[in-house]
């Protein structure tokens, strides 16, 4: 039954959603050029490096590196949870940061997760949406990938809370590169084998993922008059 419902949504809801997303993409020419650049950069640089990293690094080490970088994001989630009046999320994120930093070897081991304290995900882009700021136009950023005007501003606003930015410029660059390689390695083997326009598919996936995050996992009705309506009040 559920498969039939999903099929109906895919057949009838997705075309309307794609049209709405196209209307939110006034810089499509630039965005497509950046998308093409990113694909080439991934094919010739990022993916080969990630494959080499995966080949020479044992899985437990890769997991520890992933945990380490995830732990650095906990202060961002905690601060934005407070700004969104979500004290439970803020408390969990702070607890995770303290436990994993002190007992988990600076976050390499997820001891909080092992005790059932699951990782949350909040950022300034979601906070701005919570307070009614619209997404603005869709943007494809060089190397960084899909975004929009609101989330781009959120990136800069979150940066001071990320311990990576507390180092000198060289150290920050090295850690960002390491994080990028680790993230790309996690996506190996997950590249979509889909038909259609890959640019449109990525744009749609990004917009849907952000709506899902903003609404704390509550799926927004695809048939609303404005499918880009970010209404975090439904998640309260």
SS (H, E, C) 161-207: HCHHHHCCHHHHHHHHHHHHHHHHHHCCCCCCCCCCCHHHHHHHHHH
234 falls within a domain: no
Say what the pLDDT of residue 22 is. 66
87 falls within a domain: yes
Mean of pLDDT over the chain: 84
Under a CB-based contact definition with an 8 Å cutoff, are residues 122 and 84 in contact?
Answer: yes
How many domains does one find in the chain?
Answer: 1
Instruction: Tell me which H or E stretch contains 145.
Output: strand 145-148
54 falls within a domain: yes
28 falls within a domain: no
Say what the pLDDT of residue 223 is. 46
Higher-confidence residue of 54 and 195: namely 54
pLDDT tens digits for 14-34? 454 555 566 789 999 999 999
pLDDT tens digits for 145-194? 999 999 999 999 998 988 877 777 766 677 777 878 888 888 887 776 66
Tell me the residue range of the domain where 183 lies.
34-217
Residue 119 has pLDDT above 90, yes or no: yes
184 falls within a domain: yes
Say what the pLDDT of residue 20 is. 55
18 falls within a domain: no
10 falls within a domain: no
Instruction: Tell me which H or E stretch contains 139.
Output: strand 138-141
226 falls within a domain: no
pTM above 0.95, yes or no: no
Q: What percent of the chain has pLDDT over 90?
A: 64
């Amino acid at each position: 039954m559920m498969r039939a419902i999903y099929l109906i949504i895919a057949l009838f809801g997705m075309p309307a959603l794609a049209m709405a997303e196209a209307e939110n993409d006034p810089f499509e020419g630039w965005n497509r050029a950046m998308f093409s650049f990113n694909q080439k950069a991934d094919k010739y640089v990022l993916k080969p490096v990630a494959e080499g990293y995966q080949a020479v690094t044992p899985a437990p080490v890769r997991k520890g590196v992933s945990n380490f970088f995830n732990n650095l994001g906990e202060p961002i989630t905690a601060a934005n949870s407070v700004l969104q009046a979500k004290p439970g999320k803020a408390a969990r994120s702070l607890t995770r940061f303290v436990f994993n930093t002190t007992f988990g070897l600076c976050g390499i081991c997820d001891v909080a997760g092992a005790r059932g304290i699951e990782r949350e995900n909040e950022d300034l882009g979601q906070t701005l949406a919570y307070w009614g700021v619209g997404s603005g136009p869709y943007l494809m950023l060089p190397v960084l990938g899909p975004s929009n005007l609101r989330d781009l501003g959120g990136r800069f606003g979150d940066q001071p809370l990320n311990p990576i930015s507390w180092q000198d410029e060289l150290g920050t660059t090295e850690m960002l590169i390491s994080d990028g390689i680790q993230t790309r390695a996690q996506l190996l083997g997950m590249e979509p084998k889909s038909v259609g326009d890959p640019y449109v598919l990525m744009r749609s996936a990004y917009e849907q993922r952000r709506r899902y995050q903003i609404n704390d996992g509550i799926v927004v009705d695809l048939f609303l008059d404005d499918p880009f309506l970010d209404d975090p009040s439904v998640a309260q």
